[in-house]
């Protein structure tokens, strides 16, 4: 006898072009691979050995309390954790200060460099943008600390608010579907499509949505791609068609090998450079590399391949920087 599919534990809502009533999906996209392929990858060899420590040359930054002079100041914390300061707002993305990107404190990918901002040196936070629920992006321990010390509003795609309500009681959240928007303190945050998936465990795959973010501020528009596969560049092209050019974009460049397994969820540096052109950004920072070893490539390869791709396309390297913890970029 066939069993009825398990109900979605995080979200109930109308069907759409990316929600079938139970799980979310990428329209015309790639479904995440299953356990057999995961085991084939994990036991197939080919993983480069990362150093136990790979300190950033930038050390730890002390950001200003506010930036309200037309500049956008971007400070890399590590992986996908970035502090954006513009138009008097402080916005933090996918915050992870824990030592491991894992459900366990004793196992899982361990950071090889310190966060680029000491937690106690964070300025007052207004918004946290949480792109999806994978452990290298949604870190409950960090979010609990942020709730206690800053009480920011967390903007996140559908279903993730239910996870946070259980994990961090009292945290202020606002959930958005793709195409949804929220205006807060003079800035407007849009949730836009990304090509990815979600899971906190083995029984909740794709039950919460994932997204990229567009932030409109008086100092200009910012694009934060979250975690994404390239997907023929569709979502980058769509973001530019809808929002116009961006003053700054944060684009993932790492966690891409082996391609047969990762292509649907993480883009490589060549694709990141193509995405940079499609999304129409004046400048971009490369993220999602050099902090946690999630995949097979060597620690420095994303930076090296990004530079090669930029050189081939005749794009100055100072327009798209592979950012490291503690690095500050003022626009």
| DSSP codes of every residue in 213-282 | EEEEETTEEEEE--S---GGGHHHHHHHHHH--EEEEEEE-----SHHHHTTT---HHHHHHHHHHHTEE
Domain segments of the chain as ranges: 60-320
Question: Phi and psi of 14, rounded to 5°?
Answer: -70, 155
What is the signed CA dihedral for 187, 82, 126, 160, rounded to 10 degrees? 90
pLDDT value of residue 1: 38
Residue 2: pLDDT over 90: no
Region 240-265: mean pLDDT is 97
pLDDT value of residue 4: 45
Q: How far is CA 279 from CA 109, 142, 146, 274, in A?
A: 31, 31, 31, 9
- With a threshold of 0.75, does the pTM exceed it? yes
- Rounded distance, CA 248 to CA 38, Å? 35
Among residues 222, 155, 217, 224, the alpha carbon closest in space to that of 186 is found at 217
Q: pLDDT tens digits for 272-295?
A: 999 999 999 999 999 999 999 999
Terminus-to-terminus CA distance in the chain, angstroms?
Answer: 61
Superfamily grouping for domain 60-320? Ribonuclease Z/Hydroxyacylglutathione hydrolase-like (3.60.15.10)
Region 201-213: mean pLDDT is 96
């Amino acid at each position: 006898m066939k069993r009825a599919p398990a109900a979605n534990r995080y979200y109930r809502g109308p069907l759409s072009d990316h929600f079938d009533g139970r799980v979310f999906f990428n329209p015309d996209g790639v479904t995440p691979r299953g356990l057999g392929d995961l085991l084939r990858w994990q036991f197939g060899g080919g993983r480069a050995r990362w150093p136990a420590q790979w300190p950033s040359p930038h050390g730890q930054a002390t950001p200003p309390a506010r930036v309200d002079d037309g500049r956008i100041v971007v400070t890399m914390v590590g992986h996908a954790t970035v502090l954006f300061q513009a138009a008097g707002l402080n916005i933090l993305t996918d915050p992870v200060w824990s030592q491991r990107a894992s459900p366990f404190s004793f196992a899982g990918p361990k950071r090889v460099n310190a966060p680029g901002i000491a937690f106690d040196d964070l300025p007052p936070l207004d918004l946290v943008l949480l792109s999806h629920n994978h452990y290298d992006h949604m870190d409950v321990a960090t979010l609990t600390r942020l709730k206690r010390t800053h009480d920011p509003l967390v903007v996140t795609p559908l279903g993730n608010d239910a996870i946070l309500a259980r994990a961090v009681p009292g945290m202020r959240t606002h959930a958005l579907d793709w195409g949804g928007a929220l205006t807060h303190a003079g800035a407007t945050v849009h949730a836009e499509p990304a090509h990815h998936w979600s899971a906190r465990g083995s029984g909740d795959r794709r039950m919460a949505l994932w997204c990229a973010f567009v932030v409109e501020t008086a100092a200009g528009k910012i694009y934060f791609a979250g975690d994404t596969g390239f997907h023929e560049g569709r979502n980058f092209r769509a973001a530019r068609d809808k929002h116009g050019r961006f003053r700054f974009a944060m684009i993932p460049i790492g966690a891409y090998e082996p391609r047969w397994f990762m292509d649907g969820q993480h883009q490589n540096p060549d694709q990141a450079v193509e995405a940079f052109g499609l999304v129409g950004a004046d400048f971009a920072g490369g993220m999602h590399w050099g902090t946690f070893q999630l995949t097979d490539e060597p620690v420095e390869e994303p930076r090296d391949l990004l530079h090669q791709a930029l050189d081939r396309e005749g794009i100055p390297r100072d327009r798209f920087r592979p950012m490291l913890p503690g690095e500050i970029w003022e626009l």
